[in-house]
Structure 1
């Protein structure tokens, strides 16, 4: 997720385009007002003249006249606003309307990156990774309950696969609805091919549309970044780690498919623990059982997950196989 120079320039160019477009719109509004309310231009000319006088007096050291000039300018400005309102226009009609009022379309608030810059980075990276196309296909609108049977009973919970997915969907909706106000984490585990990754994509799309920063990695991709940062000291990977720790939602998909060792175990603990400390939500999906999670990733990792995560078990027949069988029948 570290930006190359060209990617950074692409984002900053977008800000420049916003500024130019918004200034163009402001000038169009002013030109429209000049025709419909000509007194506005007269008032602006008078304000400009008084402002020039104010500057000259200040340079000449005559501070006594400044208060009077300020009052006159204020009175003219109020008259201008009154004219706008009388003619059915909002008070800020002639002002510059920013796409992001917080940073005024610069991307920065002081020397700190604005939240809109953070969102622009995530959007750019998702476009680069082609995940946006996946989210267009896999979301709540395209989610189907037809693959979850009432007759398939989970021996562990005694629930049918339909009951399990209904519980999971309710929890996922609550996770989305309270995101940003309540700190929550999710663990989706269970049988292969029952929609865990699909549900992760559903949540990602909903939160991205609410302007939260969401980053998705398979477990293998995640640990590869940690390895590059730790062993090769790659600057880009180090920046990636910062994004991993700070994004609003981190999705770790297919935990357990990576090559597990002491390094991956320790890095997983550091990642999960750091995000818990920062109150940043994490969603994990895995085909592993809870017992396998405990045995593979140590008691520390298992404790973090069971104490800080809502654990949702999904069961049923592999949906991909069901789809293939249905296609053959058709």
Structure 2
């Protein structure tokens, strides 16, 4: 645009006061500044907006009357932006966008969203499920405000709020020879076929657990689907390494499963709530953040009170 809202405000003030001098006094600005604004508007739009009367101020031309009406309307709409912006940034009703890592979503999100609905009934959540790369890209281009994800490939440009952590475990069929053991070493698993959860960054994480022990797993089938990995294990195609554990050790196809602790020293995989450092969170997003911290923060190891993470995934949290 070749004009500003301030110039339009000067224009309306001159029309209301009938004088450049009086308008300048009312606006607490200089008379030449107001005169310059009017002259620029007349030049930009190719209109004569006022007739100048020596020692008697100004009066609107017919074109000026029509233009003033449009200018008043535009200024009114501009004023309405402030309460609208406050509504967007401060209200606890409306929509907030949340991304979630695909394997975390079915286990944690239903109860988290239920708690959010109870706490803020006028708040609606738009969900995006994806792998680490998809969530990272969605945060970068503004499609989501927050992402619930493992700390896998999250860039330094993000705020990362640690919520909890899940120690990896081995999943085998209930009739597998190792099923009754309770725990198993990575060396014992390395000889068995691995059903690899083949998501970006996830596959590198699971393979790194073996390589830290100077082992190379025997990868069999690969899948990007958490439940398909469980189903393949139940059907006898090998074992899988996973982090979060559903409450029922049964695959979709009805096959029974057994979860085994890993005897080796393996690190927890942190679960984070992430958002761009350059983003100022709205009050809605802050409410989601605080509820995530309240419900998902901490683990049994840290002596924290009971929380949603422990309720949903107690078996996946190992001391």
Shorter-chain TM-score tier: under 0.3
Higher strand fraction (1 or 2): 2
Superposition TM-score, scaled by structure 2 size = 0.21
The structure whose Rg is larger is 2
TM-score (ref. length: structure 1): 0.21
